[in-house]
Amino acid sequence: MFILHSYITMSGEQRQDGNKLNYNNMAKKVVSKQFSLKLRDFSRGFIMAVLTPMLYIIQEMIPGYNLDPIVQAGLSAGISYLIKNFLEPTKVIEKV
């Protein structure tokens, strides 16, 4: 069994293997305050606003696919949300 050991010294400058740490590439803690919106929030909303009607139209074009319109809209929104989350980059949040 292979185990990789890497420890940060108290000064935080070197690992056990002697290589220096590059703090510019390390994960940073992301904090979003309540009742605040950022540009990223608007872009996510735009993605949802575009994907949901597209999926609704695709469902309408399938012959023999008869669901209540509100169910189709809910299904479209749910699938759009899953697609949005699937395409987002990896998130790493460092706990302090």
Domain membership flag for residue 2: no
The predicted-structure confidence for 78-92, as pLDDT tens digits, reads as follows 999 999 888 888 766
pLDDT one-digit tens code per residue, 9-31? 344 455 555 666 555 555 566 56
Helix (H) or strand (E) holding 53: helix 39-61
56 falls within a domain: yes
Tell me which DSSP letter residue 20 carries. B
23 in a structural domain: no
47 in a structural domain: yes
For residue 68, what are the domain limits?
Answer: 30-87
| Lowest mean pLDDT across 14-18, 28-32, 61-65, 71-75 | 14-18
Q: With beta carbons less than 8 A apart as the criterion, state whether 51 and 84 touch.
A: yes
Number of domains in the chain: 1
Residue 20 lies in a domain: no
Stretch 30-56: mean pLDDT? 85
> In this structure, what token pair is assigned to residue 88?
């987002």
95 Cβ contact partners less than 8 Å away, ≥ 6 residues apart: 29
Domain contains 74? yes
User: Above pLDDT 70, what percent of the chain?
Assistant: 60
